């Protein structure tokens, strides 16, 4: 798996913005098969930063309704990455 296969997309929510501003933590949706070591290496490769900690959580699929149709949302894996002092990902600051 390449670094771009591991990191799917950034998660930008109100909570993730607070974590970014106050604690230098960035949130990403990652491949479900990726482990913490692979996620760390992928972030360091793509964004050229130093990662100090990676916390992951699996988000299970849930049933949702759109009108009368019932469907299941996709299961996901989320990673919260803590960067070393002085490092930042400038992509998040422009959003």
Residues 9-21: tens digit of each pLDDT = 999 999 999 999 9
CATH top-level class for 3-86? alpha beta
Please give the model's pTM, rounded to 2 decimal places: 0.89
Instruction: Report residue 36 as tokens.
Output: 């913490």
For the chain, which residues make up each domain, given as ranges? 3-86
Closest CA to 3 of 31, 22, 32, 24: 31
pLDDT number for residue 91: 78
| pLDDT band at residue 92 under the 50/70/90 scheme | confident
Closest CA to 8 of 37, 42, 41: 42
> Where does residue 56 rank: exposed (0-12), middle (13-18), buried (19+ CB within 10 A)?
middle
């Amino acid at each position: 798996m390449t670094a771009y296969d591991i990191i799917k997309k950034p998660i930008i929510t109100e909570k993730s913005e607070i974590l970014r501003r106050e604690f230098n933590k960035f949130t990403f949706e990652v491949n479900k098969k990726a482990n913490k070591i692979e996620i760390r290496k992928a972030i360091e490769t793509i964004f050229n930063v130093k990662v100090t900690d990676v916390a992951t959580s699996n988000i299970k699929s849930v049933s949702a309704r759109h009108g009368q149709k019932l469907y299941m949302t996709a299961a996901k894996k989320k990673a919260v990455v803590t960067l070393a002092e002085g490092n930042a990902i400038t992509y998040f600051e422009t959003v």
